[in-house]
Amino acid sequence: MEENSVSNEKQLSLWQKIGLLFWEPTATFRALVRRTGWLDIVIPLLLVLIGMVYMTGKITPLTTQYAKEMILNNEKIPTEQKAPILERIEKQQHSPMKYFWTVITVLIKVAIVAGIFLLINNFIVGGSSRYLQALAVVNYVNLVDIVAMAVRTPLMLAQETVKVYTSPALFFEESKTFFFRFMAGLDVFALWKTILLAVAVSVFTPKKFKPALTAFIIFWLMYVALMALLSGLSQM
């Protein structure tokens, strides 16, 4: 009965699916259940990539300054080695390679999260979806990153720092502890995306929202903990 109601719904345009993601995400995901085309993968991905490249260009002076400060304050690096490292960082500021690696990073993350979506939807909650659909879902969900960039970029530029938090880290004094790094990783936009992925599963596999949300939250917390751990090891 539910399949018939879904199939009878009006097919949404690409831009309607993009807009509804923020107001009625189930409508966007139901449209992807009915039909997923290459434009559903390419256009949202391009929008996010354009936003990421633009943000990278705007905050490059800040990230460069932050990298220099990290080197200067690192007591484990001999003083005579700091000058060539700082010179290399300065040269990389003007290199187009930073945009290349931004694009590659986004593509890798999309591929990995799409795999996790398939794992949870097809094996954990017992649904059925194709990798093409998973890629489309992830790219639509990643449109939340554009909102995140629209919030963070002006804050970074205004405060002249890359250390802008949209997470519980705001309520704690900054430190190099695992706890603070973990709190910093609990970003509200990442949580929003996690919930949207669970909503998508509940559309692809009806009545499976709670187990899907639980699985995605667990994966997310594991990822945040791992990143916090690796960040701490890199500072040792």
Q: Is 163 in contact with 174 (CB distance < 8 Å)? A: yes
Domain tally, the chain = 1
The string of pLDDT tens digits covering residues 96-136 is 888 999 999 999 999 999 999 999 999 999 888 999 999 99
pLDDT surpassing 80 at residue 233: no
27, part of any domain: yes
pLDDT surpassing 90 at residue 43: yes
Mean pLDDT of the chain: 90
pLDDT surpassing 60 at residue 142: yes
The CA distance from 34 to 112, in Å, is 24
32, part of any domain: yes
3, part of any domain: no
2, part of any domain: no
pLDDT surpassing 50 at residue 5: no
Prediction pTM value: 0.89
5, part of any domain: no
What does the chain come to in residues?
A: 236
91, part of any domain: yes
Q: Is 219 in contact with 116 (CB distance < 8 Å)? A: yes
176, part of any domain: yes
106, part of any domain: yes
The domain of 81 spans 12-234
For residue 4, the model assigns a pLDDT of: 43
The helix/strand/coil state of 161 is coil
